[in-house]
Structure 1
Amino acid sequence: MENLGLDLTPGRSLSSQALARATLLGCSGLLLALFLFTGVLLVYIALDQNLAAEQHNRLEIEQALQTLKSHARTTVKDYAQWGDAYQHLHLGVDPDWAYTRQNFGPALYRELGFDGVFVIGPADRTAYALVAGRLASVDARDWFGEALQPWLAQARQATKGKVFSRYHTIDGTPALVLSSVLSPGDDPQVRADGGPQSVLLFVVSLDPSRLLVLSREAGVEQLQLLAPGATSPQPTLSLPDGAGTLHWQPTRPGHQLLVLVVPLLLLAGVLVGLMAILLLRRSAQAARVIDDQVQALRSSRGALEASEARFRDVAEAASDWIWEVDPQLRFTYLSERFEAVTGLCRESALGRPMHELLNAEQGSLRNWLGASERRSQSILQCAYLDGQRRPRVCRLSVRAMAGGGYRGTASDITEEVAARRRIEYLSQHDALTGLANRMRMREYLEDRLSALRVLQEPLLMLSVDLDRFKPVNDTLGHAAGDQVLHEVSQRLSHCLRGEDLVARVGGDEFVLVVPGQMAQPEIDGLCRRLIQRIEEPFYVAEHEVFISASIGVARAPADARQAEELLRFADMALYEAKAAGRSTWRFYAADMNARIIERRGLERDLRQAIDQDQLSLQFLPRYRLGDGHWLGAEVLVRWQHPRRGLLGPEVFMPIAEDTGLILPLSNWVLHAACRVAQGWPEPLQLAVSLSACEFQRGQMVARIRSVLGQSGLAPSRLVLEVSDKALLDDGRQVQDIMDGLKVLGVQLLLDDFGSGCSALQHLRTYPLDGLKIDSSLVAGLGRSPAGRSIVQAIVDLGHALNLKVLAEGVETPEQFAALRDMRCDEVQGRYLSPPLDRDAMLQLAVQARRADRSST
C-alpha cells in the first residue's frame, strides 16, 4: 500500500476516521446553511417576479388602451378633414352619400370598431347618427347628457384638425369618446361656409367583447370592469376621467418557480443528508477496503473508459432520439424517445436495415455514412413515414464507432422545413392572387432567356394593364377591387397553357410570358382573347362591374435578349396601346423610345407651363344659323412652348389626361375664360369642353360652383361640353354630377356626337340641352349622299328630343348652306370666323352691340 501513498497503521487509521467524521459533519452544516439561504433567496425572487409581472401587465394594458386611442384619433382626424364629408354632412346632410354608399356608414363599426358615430350640426342638433353600424334617429344628448355641450364648445374653439378624447360612462359601461370639428381640410374644391362648425363624435365602448380584445393584445387574462364600489384582490387600473376601474388575473411566474424548484431543492437536501449519514458509517471501513477498491478500479477502468466515450459522443450529438447501427447498417439501439417522436414501435425497428425507415435526400445512406468517417461530425436530412403514415423530415447527426458501425441522434424538423418552404413560396408569389410575383418572373425570364435556350425557343412577353379599374376601388371599396383582381388572374391563367407564366407585378399590372414560336395572327388572336375575357362582366357585391385592358407586346430574341430590356420594351408598347385609346394591343417598335422621351419632356414642360403662364386662350365664335346672330364662343386653349412654338390642345391634352394634370389645366381654363366672358355683353355664352377624366375624379359640381362664384359669370351663360367617353364609366356617378350641374343652372352639350360610341340612350337618360355634330361628319356633307343623310338624321333626332343641334368645323359655303337647309340650330367654324384672341373678341362684342342698337 506504500506505493499508493496510504498509511494504514491502527493509530493513524483511527485518526483518519475521526478527521473524516469531523469533515463530513462540517460539510453537512455548510450544506444545510446553503440550503436555507437558497430557500430564502428563492422566495424573495419569486415574490419579486410576481410584482414585476404585475407591473408589466399594467404597462401592457395601458399601452393597449393608448394604441386604441391613437388609432381612433387618427381615424377621426382623417374623417374630420375630409372635404367630401364636409360637403355632404355639414353643408347639407346627404344620408345616401354617407350611409348607402358607405362613405360614412357600416364600415365605421364593422371594420374600425366605432360603436357610435354622431354629427352635431351648427345648431347643436344631431344631424346624423350611427349606432352599431346602423343609421339611427338618436340624439347625442341621450348618450352623453350634460357633458355634451362643453365638448362641442371645446372642439369648435380648437384649431383645425385638433382631436379631443376623453372617457365617459354610458349606461354603466366606460367608453372612449373622440371629438373634432368637421372641416374641408386641404381640399381646394370645397370652401368653408364661415358659419358655426359641425362636430364629429366617435364612440368606442369598452364592453366585455372590447375588453377581451384588449386583454389579448396586452397578453393578460380575464380583463374585466370592476363593479362600482366593489373591491378586488386582483390588481386594478383606473380609467381616466373617473370612467371606471379595470381588474385582471395576473400571471404568477414566482409561484411557478417555487412549484418547480422547491420540491427539487427538498429532494436534493434529503439526498445529501442520506449521503452524509451513509458516508459517515462507511468511513470506518474505508481503510480496510481501500486495497480492494483500488483493484476493482483497475479492473473496471476499461469498461469505464468505453462508457465515458459513449457518453461524450452522445453529449456532443444530443437531439431528440438516439440511434446505433452495426456495420451492415441494421439498428442495434434506439432510445425511448424514438417511439414518442416517430410513433413507431422501437422493438419492431431494431434489427431492420436503416434504409427501410429513413430515405436520404442526398443520395445513398451507406455512401454518406462511409464519407462521414473522414469528418468529425456529419449531418444529413432524411424523410420517413411516422406511425400514422404521415410524411415527416428529420436531421441525422452521426459518428463512426471504434468497433464498426455508427451512432448518432435524429431531430424532427418537419415544421421547420414546412415553414421554410412556405417562406420560399411567399417570396416568389403574390399573396392576393397566388400568381408569380416580380422576383419569380425575373428568375423565369433569366432561365428562358439564356443564350442557347432563347435561340432554340423564342419567347413572347405581354404587359397587361387594366383600364377603368380605379373607379372600382373608389366606388365599391378595396375589398371589391381585390376580388376583381383575383378573378382577372384566373381569367388570364385560363387563356394560357400550363407551361406559360402569369405574374402580377403591380396593383393592376400583369405580365404574361409565353415561350414558343408564334406567328403574328396567333399573337393577335391571343391578345384579342385576353381583352374579350377581361371585358366580360364581373359580379361583385351585387354590382355588375365592367373593365378592360391594354396590352404591350415584346418578343425575344427579336426585340431583346435581356430580361430588363424585354420588360422595358413591353411597357413602352403598353404605353402606346393606352395612348391609342385603350382596350387594344401594340407591338414594340424601335421608334417608341424616342416618342416616349419626347412625351415625357412635354409632360415636364406642361407642369411648368401651368405655373409660368405659358398658356393662352382663343375664342371660336358661335352663330345662330337662322339669322346669323352671334350667340357666344367656345374657348380654345393654346400653349406657347418656349422651343416648339404655339401648340394646340390635340398635342398636350392627352398628356394632361394621362398624367393627372387635367385638373389644374381645366381649373386654369375655367377661371381665365369665365373672367373674360364676364366682360362680354349679355346674354353671350361661353362654351368650355370638359375631359372624361374630370368626371372620374369627382368634385365637378363644387369646382363649377366655385368658378361661377369667383368670376361672377351667370350660370345660364356657361355651356359645358361633355365628351361621350365620360358617359361610359360609372353611369350613376355621371348622372349625379350632371344633375348637380343642372341645379347650378349651366347648360350641358354632348360633344363630338357621331364620332365615337355614343349610345342613343344617353340622349334621353342624361339632362342634356343639346348635342354637337362632329366636324368629321360636317366635312363629309359634300362628298356623298350618305354623309348628308347621316347629318340630317342627327339634326332630326336632336329636334325630336327637344335638343338644340350645333355643327362644328364649318369650312365652306357649301357646308353652311347644307346645314341651313337641314335647319341646324347653331354653327361654328373658320368659314364664319377663325379663333380670336381676347382683344379681337372684345371688338367683335362692340360691333355686335352697335349692330343690335342700329337694328332696334
Structure 2
Amino acid sequence: MNHPVYLKKITLKEYTRAVVRPPLVTMCVLLGVFFSAAFGVLLYIADDLNLKASQQSRLILKKALLNRQKEIRNHLTDYAVWGEAYSNLSPRVNTEWAWDNQNLGTSLYSVFGYEGVFVVTGDGVTAYSVVNGRYSPPSLPAWLGSDPLPGLRHSLSLSEGRAISGLVVTAGKLTILSAAWITPEEGKANSAGNSRPSLMIFADQLTPGELNDMGQEYGIKQVRLEGNTPEFIPEDGSTLVVSGSGGSVRLRWAGEDPGGALLTGMLPLLFLSMLAAGIISVSLIQSAARRARINDENTFLLEQSRLALLSSERRFRDVAETTTDWIWETDDQLRLTWISGRFTAVTGHQVSDWAGRSLAEFLLDDSHVLSLLKQSLRKKENLTLSACRYLTVHGEQRFCRMTVKRYSISTGRSGVRGTATDVTSELETQVRIRYLSYHDDLTGLPNRARLKEFLTEQLQNPPDTENPLALMMVDLDNFKPVNDIYGHTAGDRVLHETASRLSDCLKSTGLVTRHGGDEFIIVISETGGKESVENLCSAIIREVSQPFYINGNAVRIGASMGIALAPQDAQDMAGLLRFADIALYATKNAGRNGWMFYQREMGEKIAQRQEMENELRKAIHEEQLRLVYQPRYDIKTSRVTSLEALVRWEHPRQGQIMPDRFIPVAEEAGFISELSDWVMLTACRDVHDLFPGLSVSVNISAVEFKDGALYGRVQRALKLSGLESTRMEIEVTENAMLLNPEKTIQIMNEIRVLGVKFLIDDFGTGYASLGQLRRFPFDGIKLDRSFIMPIETCPDARDIVASLINLGKACSLDITAEGVESKGQMDLLSQMKCDVLQGYYIGRPMPPEQLKKVMPELPGVQDVL
C-alpha cells in the first residue's frame, strides 16, 4: 500500500517537471547557442592573441639582432678608429702590441664574446687573427668557411670606412661580421696614399648559448637555430627566417600562449554564467520549484564553499611552506601571533620560541623600523622595509626585506601581517660591487675612479704654494722581465707586494692608487714642501729596491717617479697627471730609478721630440731621406767588393740630420720597420742598377727582430729590386743578441736560407760575449772605429785588435775594420790578416751618382765594373 505523503511528493515532482521542462529546454537551447557563440568568439580572440604574440616576438628578435650588430659596430669603432691601433696594425701588424700587450687580444672574447678578431691588409691577407681568445694563424675565409672580404670592402667604400656589420650564414651557423677601416681618427682612412686600407673585423658567432641568452634578455625563451632554410619558405608560429650572406636560417623559440591563458580564465566563467542564468530562468518559471532548488543550491553552494575554503587553506599552506620567504602576523601591539614554517629554515629559530614575542625584539630594536611598523597600524597602504637587521639562532647578523600590510576583522581584532625575504647575499653583493668600483682587484688599492673622486675633493679648495698638493706617478723599472721569466702569477705577486710597500711608505698621509699595469699614482694632500716629498721618494726607492723573493729567487726591480705640484704646475686632475707623466718620462731618460719634479722645459723637449716624430713620418713618404754609400775594401783581392748604405735626412729647415738623431725616434715611435723597408729597397735598387758585381750592406735595428715579418720584408726588397740575395748583407748591433735570443736566431736562420749574410756592427762596444757570438749565425764582424784609431801609436791597442781578429777567425767569421783613415792603419791591419777595410782612407760616404763617378779611382774597382 502506497504512502499518501510519498504519492504527493511523486505527483508534485512530476507536475513540476511537466511545467518546467518546455521552457527549461528552450532556455537551455538559447543558453547553448549563446555559449557556443561566446566560445567561438573566445577562441577567435585567443588565436588572435597568440598570432600577435608571435609577431611581437618576431619583431623583438629582429630588433635584438639589429642591436647586437650595433653593439659590435660600436666596439669595433673604439678599436679601429684609434691612432695607436693604426700605428701598430697598418700596414703591418705589431704582434707584441696587439697580442703580447693584449691591446687586441683575449679580452674581446672573454668580455664581449667575439669568437673572431681579424686584421686584414689592403692586399686581402689576414695579418692577425684571434680565434676564441687565442692568437691563431687561420685567415678569415678559412675560419668562416667563405670569403666575405669583397662584400665587406664594397660596403666599407659606401660608408667611407666607418664600421659596418652584417649576417653571414655558413654551414648552418649564423655569424655577425663587423668591419671597419683601421684609421688614426674619424674620417682619415689612409694617410699613406691611395693604397687600400687595412681592415679590422670582429666576428660574433651566435652559438646556442648566445641565442638563448639574447632571447632571455628580451623575454623570449629557448631561442634556437634550425639550420639552413630556403628564403621562400614562409615564417609560421614561433619562427623567424633570417637571411644573410651565404643563405638563410630559421630561428625558433618557445612562444607565449596568451590565448591559452585567456581560455583557462574565461571558460570557467562562461560555464558558471550559463549555469547561473539557467538557474535564474528556471526560478522565474515556478516559484515553488525555485524555492526548493534555491534551498538545494544553497546547500550545494555551501558545501562547495566549504570545499573551496579547504582548498584555499591547503593552497596557502603549501605556498607558505615551499616559498623562500617566511610569512608572519602580529596583533596591534606587534606581538607575533602566527609564523610560517619557513621561519625555522631561514633563521634557525623555532616558531614556538617566538610565538607571542614582540617583532621589535626580533628586529634588533631598530627605532626607525619600529616607527614605520607602528605607522602601518594606522594606515591602510602597504609598506616595504628594505633592510631589516636580525640575528640567526647562531648569532649571525643578517638582513631581510619585509612587506607589511595592516589588517582588521569583524571581531575587532587588528594588527599587521606580511612576508620577510632574506636579502643578505644581495646586500653583500652590492657592497662588493661598490668596493670593486673604487678599488683594484689585484692589489686592493684604490683605482682611477677613487683617484678622480679624491682629487676632486682635494682641489675644490686649492692648496697654497707653501704646502702644495703633490701627485706622484710611479712606474716600476725592470718589471717586464719578471713576467717574461717567472710568469704573470709571479708578476702579480710583485705588484701586490709593491702596493703594500708603497702604502707603508705613505702611511696615512694621502692616497696610493694603481693606475694600471705596473704604474701607481700617489697623492699627498699636505706635503710640507719639496723636501718632504723628496724624503718620501727616497723611502719609496729604498723600499721598492729591496728584493722580492719568488720561488726562492731574489728578484730586484726599481722605481722611476715623476712629480707634479698643485697649484704651481696645475690645478686640475688632467693637468697634474699630464705633467707628472712628462716628469716621469724625463726620469726614465735620465737613467731610471729616481725622481724628477715637473719643469716647463720638460714639456718643450717632449713637444720637440713629438714634432720630430711627426716630421720623420712625413719625410719617409715625401722623399726627404737620402742614401749615401761607403765602399769596403777586400784586402785579399785588393779591391772594393761591397758598399754600406747609410741613410741621411735632408730636413727642409734644419738641413742634413744624421741617423743617430732620428733612428732612435723611429724605434720608439714604432715605425722603424717602415723606415728600414725604404732603406733596403732603395739600396738594393741602387746597387742593382749602378754597381753590378758589388754587394751592399744595410743596417737593421735590433728591435726589428721582434717582428716576425722581417723575413718577408727582406724577400720583398730583393724581389722588387731584382738584386741577387747573395749580394745583400744585413748589419745588426750586439743588442740583437740580447732581445729574445731564440726568436732572433730563428729569424736569422730563415733569412740566411735566402743567401743573405749577417754582420755584427760596432763589435766590442756592446754586451755580447764570445759564447753568444758562437750561437748566432753571423758571417762576419765589424770592429768598431774606437779600436782602430789608436793602433798606430798604442801597442796595447794593436794587441787588442789582433786578439779580436784572431777570436773572430777562430769562429770562422770575416773581419771588417771600421774607421780606417790612414795608410799606416791599412798596412797594420793587413799584417794582422784583417779581411775587409772601411773608412775615409778607402772612401767617404757619397751619393750613388757621385760614387759612380769616382769608383774608377778606388783600389781594384776596374776588375769588377
Q: Same fold (TM over 0.5)?
A: yes
Check if 1:733 corresponds to 2:733. Answer: no
* Greater mean deviation of Cα atoms: 828-837 or 445-454: 445-454
Greater shift, 620-629 or 769-778, is seen at: 620-629
- Cα deviations across residues 528-548 of structure 1 (Å, max 9, x unaligned)? 459x8899999xxxxxxx999
Aligned length: 670
**Distance verdict in 2 for CA 1:379–1:556, change over 3 Å:** farther
Aligned ranges for residues 753-832 of structure 1 at < 5 Å? 753-778=763-788, 790-810=800-820, 819-820=829-830, 822-830=832-840, 832=842
Residue identity opposite 1:750 in structure 2: I
| 3-state SS of paired residue (1:678) | helix
Q: 1:462 aligns with which of 467, 473, 483?
A: 473
2:688 is equivalent to residue 684 of structure 1 = no
Distance 2:66 2:552 in 1: 48
Q: CA deviation at 1:721?
A: 0.7
Amino acid at match of 1:421: V
Instruction: Give the equivalent residue in structure 2 for 1:618.
Output: 628
C-alpha distance after superposition, 1:443-485 (max 9, x if no partner): 3455677767998898663343788979999xx9xxx998787
2:843 and 2:255 mapped to 1: Cα distance? 89
Contact kept in structure 2, 1:772 and 1:808, CA below 8 Å: yes
Matched, 1:384 2:389: yes
Report the secondary structure of 1:636's partner residue.
Answer: strand
SS at match of 1:834: coil
Q: 1:366 to 1:249 in 2, by over 3 A?
A: closer
Number of the residue aligned with 2:711: 701
CA distance in 2, matches of 1:348, 1:31: 58
* Structure-2 residue corresponding to 1:357: 362
Deviation at 1:715, TM superposition (A): 1.9
- In the TM superposition, residue 670 of structure 1 has moved relative to its aligned partner by 1.8
Shift of the 157–423 alpha-carbon distance from structure 1 to 2, 3 Å rule, reads closer
Q: Indicate the residue corresponding to 1:92 in structure 2.
A: none
Between the aligned residues of both structures, percent identity stands at: 27
Measured against aligned partners, the alpha-carbon deviations of 1:619-668 in whole angstroms (never above 9, x if no partner) come to 23333457864333322222222222221111111111111221222222
SS of the aligned residue for 1:220 comes to strand
TM-score after normalising by structure 2? 0.59
Residue from 417, 441, 452 that aligns with 1:442 = 452
* Structure 2 segments unaligned to the other structure (5+ residues): 1-27, 73-104, 117-130, 137-143, 155-165, 177-188, 193-202, 216-220, 229-235, 292-324
Deviation, 1:38, is 6.8
Distance 1:615 1:245 in 2: 56
Query: Cα–Cα, structure 1 residues 267 and 551, in superposed 2: closer, same or farther, change >3 Å?
Result: farther
| Inter-CA distance 608–157: structure 2 relative to 1 (3 Å threshold) | closer
1:549, 1:485 → 2: CA distance? 14
Q: How does 1:542-691 map to 2 (within 5 A)?
A: 551-554=560-563, 563-576=573-586, 579=589, 587-590=596-599, 591-624=601-634, 629-691=639-701
- Structure 1 CA distance for aligned equivalents of residues 552 and 679 of structure 2: 38
Deviation at 1:793, TM superposition (A): 3.7
Which stretch has the larger CA shift, 155-164 or 691-700?
A: 155-164
Give the SS at the match of 2:399: strand
C-alpha displacement at 1:159, in angstroms?
A: 8.4
- Alignment partner, residue 261 of structure 1: 265
Which has the higher mean CA deviation after the structures are superposed, 618-627 or 726-735?
618-627
Cα deviation, 1:653-703, whole Å, max 9, x if unaligned, reads 111111122122222222222222224444322221111232223321111
Of 712-721 and 386-395, the range deviating more from structure 2: 386-395
Q: Partners in 1 of 2:476 and 2:388 — Cα distance?
A: 44
2:734 maps to 1:724? yes
Name the amino acid aligned to 1:257: A
Determine if contact 2:638/2:860 at 8 Å carries over to the other structure.
no
Higher mean displacement: 686-695 or 513-522: 513-522
Find the residue that maps to 1:757 and give its secondary structure. Answer: coil
CA distance in 2, matches of 1:487, 1:770: 44
Superposed displacement of residue 806, structure 1:
2.3
Q: Quote the Cα distance in structure 1 between the aligned partners of 2:282 and 2:496.
A: 80
Maintained 8 Å contact 1:435/1:503: yes
Question: 2:46 corresponds to which residue?
Answer: 46
Find the aligned partners of 2:428 and 2:816 in 1 and give their Cα distance. 71
Q: Where does residue 539 of structure 2 map in the other structure?
A: 522
| Partner AA of 1:773 in structure 2 | L
CA-to-partner distance for each residue in 1:235-265, whole Å, 9 max, x for gaps?
Answer: 8899999999989784452475157524873
Deviation string 1:501-549 (CA, Å, 9 cap, x unpaired) is 765545x46324376854554333345459x8899999xxxxxxx9999
Match among 493, 503, 507 for residue 499 of structure 2: 493
Unpaired segments ≥5 residues, structure 1: 1-27, 73-102, 115-129, 136-150, 169-173, 179-185, 190-201, 227-232, 286-318, 539-545
1:502-521 aligned within 5 A: 503=513, 505=515, 508=517, 510-513=519-522, 518-519=535-536, 521=538
Q: Contact 1:622–1:631 (CA<8 Å) still a contact in 2?
A: yes
Alignment map for 1:6-25 (pairs within 5 Å): none
Distance change in 2, residues 1:534/1:70 (3 Å) = farther
C-alpha deviation, 1:602, in angstroms: 1.0
The residue type paired with residue 358 of structure 1 is: L
CA distance in 2, matches of 1:486, 1:614: 47
Q: What is the Cα-based RMSD across aligned positions, in Å?
A: 6.5
| CA spacing shift, 1:554–1:566, aligned 2, 3 Å | same
CA drift of 1:823 comes to 3.8
Counterparts of 2:817 and 2:32 in 1: how far apart (Å)? 113
User: Which stretch has the larger CA shift, 597-606 or 405-414?
Assistant: 405-414
Structure 1 stretch displaced more, 822-831 or 238-247: 238-247
Aligned to 1:220: 222
Farther off after superposition, 607-616 or 35-44 = 35-44
Q: 1:841 deviation in Å?
A: 1.2
Look up the match of 1:307: none
What is the distance in 2 between the residues matched to 1:586 and 1:371? 64
Amino acid at match of 2:475: V
1:771 counterpart SS class: strand
Counterpart code for 1:253: D
> CA 1:738 to 1:166, structure 2 compared with 1: closer, same or farther past 3 Å?
same
Kept in 1: contact 2:222–2:254 (CA 8 A): yes
* Contact map agreement 2:364 2:390 (CA 8 A) in 1: no
The change in CA–CA distance for 1:799 and 1:113 in structure 2 (over 3 A counts) is same
Cα distance change of structure 1 residues 808 and 501 upon mapping to structure 2, 3 Å threshold = farther
Q: Name the SS for the 2:644 alignment partner.
A: strand
> Residue 24 of structure 1 corresponds to which residue in structure 2?
none
SS at match of 1:749: strand
Counterpart residue type for residue 522 of structure 1: A
The two structures have a TM-score, normalised by structure 1, of: 0.60
- Say if 2:632 and 2:640, in contact at 8 Å, map to a contact too: yes
Aligned twin of 1:127: none
Q: How much does 1:733 deviate?
A: 2.8
Kindly state the Cα deviation for residue 596 of structure 1 after the two structures are TM-superposed.
0.4
Question: Is the 1:622–1:826 Cα contact (8 Å) retained in structure 2?
Answer: yes
Separation in 1, partners of 2:55, 2:488: 43
Distance 1:752 1:578, change over 3 A: farther
Residue deviations 1:801-836, cap 9 Å, x none? Answer: 011222334467776666555443333334554332
Name the aligned partner's letter for residue 851 of structure 2: M
Which moves more between the two structures, 570-579 or 783-792?
783-792
Change over 3 Å in CA distance of 1:164–1:274 after alignment to 2: closer
The within-5 A match list for 1:58-77 is none
Q: Which amino acid aligns with 1:513?
A: I
**Is contact 1:633-1:685 (8 Å) kept?**
yes
